[in-house]
Amino acid sequence: MGNLGLEKTLSRMGITYIRTPVGDYNVYREMQRRDALIGGEQSGHTILRWLQRTGDGILTAIYFLKALAYFDLKPTDLFKKLSLYPQTTKNIPIRKKKDINTWNTLKNMMNDFSSKHGNHSRIIIRYSGTEPKIRLTIESEDGSIINENIKRFEKLIISEIGG
C-alpha cells in the first residue's frame, strides 16, 4: 500500500522496492525470502528484521535518528527528495463479497484505468480483513485523475455488492 511517489523516489536512489499483500506477516515473510533488512507498511509499521519480526515505533524512531546522525542529515533533507502522490481511499460497506479476480466489469475498468494513466497512477481494490467493506484506493501524480475516477469505481461497487 506504500505510496507510488515513495516507490519512484526510492527507485531513483537505486533502492529496491517490493510490494507484498497487506499485513506485517506478509511483509516479514517476503523480507525473509529476500533476506531484506527493512520492511514496512504505509500505516507506519516498520520492521527491522535483524532485531524483531514486527514493527515497533520507538525502535524505528531510534534507528531513524541514528541513521540521520550517521549521514549528517536533517529530516527535512529527506523530505525534500520525497514527492508523495495524492491518494484517496474509500471504505465502501458491502452486503456480499464478489471475487475480484473474476469480476469482469471491475477488471475491465481497472485495466482501462491502468492503460490510460500508466506509471503515474495506481488503483488498489481489496476487501477489508476485519469489516464487511471493500477498500478502494486511487493515487496519482495528478490529483484530478483521482477525482475523475473514484466516483465511477465507487458507483460500480455499490451497485453490484454495496451494503
Asked, colleague to colleague, whether 4-81 and 87-161 share their fold, the answer is no
| Predicted local confidence at residue 119, as pLDDT | 82
| Predicted local confidence at residue 146, as pLDDT | 96
| Predicted local confidence at residue 151, as pLDDT | 95
What is the pTM (predicted TM-score) of this model? 0.77
Give dist(CA 5, CA 145) in Å, integer: 15
> Considering the domain 4-81, what is its CATH architecture?
3-Layer(aba) Sandwich (3.40)
Query: Where residue 66 falls among pLDDT bands split at 50, 70, 90?
Result: very high
Tens digit of each residue's pLDDT (9 = 90 or more) over 110-134? 999 999 998 899 999 999 988 999 9
Query: Where residue 135 falls among pLDDT bands split at 50, 70, 90?
Result: very high
- Tell which CATH classification among 3.40.50.2000, 3.40.50.11600, 3.40.50.1220, 3.30.310.50 matches the domain 87-161: 3.30.310.50
Tens digit of each residue's pLDDT (9 = 90 or more) over 76-116? 988 887 888 999 999 999 999 999 999 999 999 999 999 99
Give dist(CA 9, CA 100) in Å, integer: 30
Pairing of strands 38-40, 46-48: antiparallel
Residue 144 grid cell: 484530478
All structural domains of the chain with their residue ranges: 4-81, 87-161
How many Cα neighbours within 13 Å face the side chain of 53?
Answer: 5
Give dist(CA 68, CA 119) in Å, integer: 31
Task: Assess whether pLDDT exceeds 90 at residue 16.
Answer: no
Tens digit of each residue's pLDDT (9 = 90 or more) over 18-51? 988 877 888 899 999 999 988 988 777 888 888 8
Residue 131 phi, psi (nearest 5): -135, 160
| Predicted local confidence at residue 10, as pLDDT | 85
